[in-house]
Amino acid sequence: MPGKTQPTIYWLRRDLRLKDNPALHWAVQRNAPVICVYIHDTKSAGDWQPGAASCWWLHHSLQALSDALKSTGNQLYLFNGSTETTLKHIIEHTGADAISWNRRYEPAAIELDKKLKKQLSEQGLEVFSAPGNLCHEPWQVTRTGTKAEGQLPYKVFTAYWRASLKHESIAITPSVKSIPAYSKKLPDQKKLQDLQLLPTLPWDDQFPDHWQPGEKGAEKNLQKLLKGVISEYDTARDLPAQSGTSKLSPHLAFGETTPRLINAAVARKLKDKTLKADDNVETFLKEIGWREFAYHLLYHFSDTTNQPLDKRFTKFPWKKIDADTLKRWQRGNTGIPIVDAGMRQLWQTGWMHNRVRMVVGSLLIKNIGYHWLEGAQWFWDTLVDADLASNTMGWQWVAGSGADAAPYFRVFNPVRQGERFDKKGEYVRKWVPELARLHEKHIHSPWAASEAELTEAGIELGKTYPHPIVDLKATRVEALERFAKIKTP
């Protein structure tokens, strides 16, 4: 049977994959040529345009997707500029009569999607938006309030998690092997280099040693997880010197894999008994659940990307920013070893271990006293896994102003955190090489070492390594006083 001639547009965003892709699958099922379109439209992201590290990832992920599409007989069309205008031009030029996309849940994306859906449907196009990114749509898992309140969102993870287990996960969409091609050139079509996603200064030179953006890289990390990492996840995930976590976060952030594929791969291993159903597996699956919870929160409390969820924090007396202090934190020169190790790992690799994210965040917010948004913005620019839902939840959690947040009196002691989770100081030695020769006893508190011990390790405090940026004890007391003022409504 000959196919239809009017093409279908498949509009890609953070779903840069072929597997488990409902919007692509729908487009292919229409039995017409499919135009796969990526539009680099930074303005449509509102306050949260992709940061530099995300752009690096995006460049390589688009390259990988373009190669993968070629193997299906199709190709990737790239554009730069306004989504609305670009789609309008493509539709006019090609006579496309349908469009599909996988949903996004960021406030600016929801606004754009709604507008486009209305406009394009009114124009007579068939529009299909699909659940491409999560196991449960953010509005699916809710609790019952009073009659007047109706269904309410969860604010506590454990309750959300328990409820989510009672809802069936969104099913995996079958993969597409061949995608009918459109094959003609389109006006204003760009080459990948034209999008100018790579940095002009080569601060990204170490990224390729750590990452393989694209679906194949996601699959490799998933296999590493299943072959070993998951079996020790419960304890190893807290040790930043070890590769004890999946490193799937950037792949999930760019939709190169889905939580559904990850969960299904774990379920298969459990079923064929090559994996034991123990605390390790449960803890890992819960972490995937935290990601779902973050999207649930972002959807229901969309102003939390910039505003505290706990409104008592609206008038919190954050300290005035001193550019030099902020820069020392950003670049890992605070004089507090575990913090500097984390911030340098972030700068050099685009990723930071989860426990250390909490520690560096606590220092910035509680000891230094800066607004959590300063940290959220820096992470946004430098993380390859920058994800508005998880980043917002993470930073509000550390500040104590978010859902299920750390209590206000929880001020991480970075020295104790280091001694507990990086006992031998391997993580610090790796990322802060100027401390590499310091004895284990003082690796997390070089200021406590004697002059002789420092000299022997080749360290001169204030010269080869900075004095601590704050007095940890005094700033903790001060933080507790400031935070205590808002503890009652």
Residue 85 in tokens:
């205008």
Taking the complex as a whole, the smallest distance from the CB of residue 116 to ligand FAD amounts, in Å, to: 26
Residue with Cβ nearer ligand FAD (247 or 371): 247
Residue with Cβ nearer ligand FAD (7 or 308): 308
Query: Are 349 and 383 contacting, i.e. CB atoms less than 8 angstroms apart?
Result: no
Residue with Cβ nearer ligand FAD (12 or 285): 285
Q: Which residues would be at the binding site for ligand FAD (CB under 6 A)?
A: 237, 245-249, 252-253, 287-288, 290-291, 294, 354, 357-358, 361, 379, 383, 385-387, 390-391, 393-395, 398
Taking the complex as a whole, the smallest distance from the CB of residue 120 to ligand FAD amounts, in Å, to: 31
Distance CA 9, CA 462 (A): 59
Residue with Cβ nearer ligand FAD (32 or 383): 383
Residue with Cβ nearer ligand FAD (107 or 446): 107
Distance CA 381, CA 378 (A): 5
Residue nearest to ligand FAD (CB): 394
Query: Are 258 and 133 contacting, i.e. CB atoms less than 8 angstroms apart?
Result: yes
Taking the complex as a whole, the smallest distance from the CB of residue 142 to ligand FAD amounts, in Å, to: 20
Taking the complex as a whole, the smallest distance from the CB of residue 430 to ligand FAD amounts, in Å, to: 17
Q: Who contacts 148 (Cβ-Cβ below 8 Å, separation ≥6)? A: none
Taking the complex as a whole, the smallest distance from the CB of residue 212 to ligand FAD amounts, in Å, to: 14
Q: What's the distance, Cα to Cα, between the start and end of the chain in Å?
A: 68
CA distances from 169 to 80, 172, 391, 417 (A): 35, 9, 24, 36
The alpha-helical segments, DSSP class H, found in 202-336 are: 207-210, 215-227, 233-236, 249-253, 259-271, 279-300, 323-330
Residue with Cβ nearer ligand FAD (97 or 292): 292
Distance CA 391, CA 376 (A): 7
**Nearest one of 213, 229, 217, 225 to 265, comparing CA atoms:** 225
Would the CA dihedral through 333, 339, 343, 345 be positive or negative?
Answer: positive
Residue with Cβ nearer ligand FAD (217 or 394): 394
Residue with Cβ nearer ligand FAD (112 or 298): 298
Beta bridge partners of 144: 151
Question: What type of residue sits at position 474?
Answer: A
Taking the complex as a whole, the smallest distance from the CB of residue 438 to ligand FAD amounts, in Å, to: 27
Beta bridge partners of 35: 9
Taking the complex as a whole, the smallest distance from the CB of residue 160 to ligand FAD amounts, in Å, to: 12
3-state SS assignment for residue 8 = strand
Taking the complex as a whole, the smallest distance from the CB of residue 106 to ligand FAD amounts, in Å, to: 12
Taking the complex as a whole, the smallest distance from the CB of residue 287 to ligand FAD amounts, in Å, to: 4
Residue with Cβ nearer ligand FAD (3 or 409): 409
CA 205 to centroid of chain Cα atoms:
21
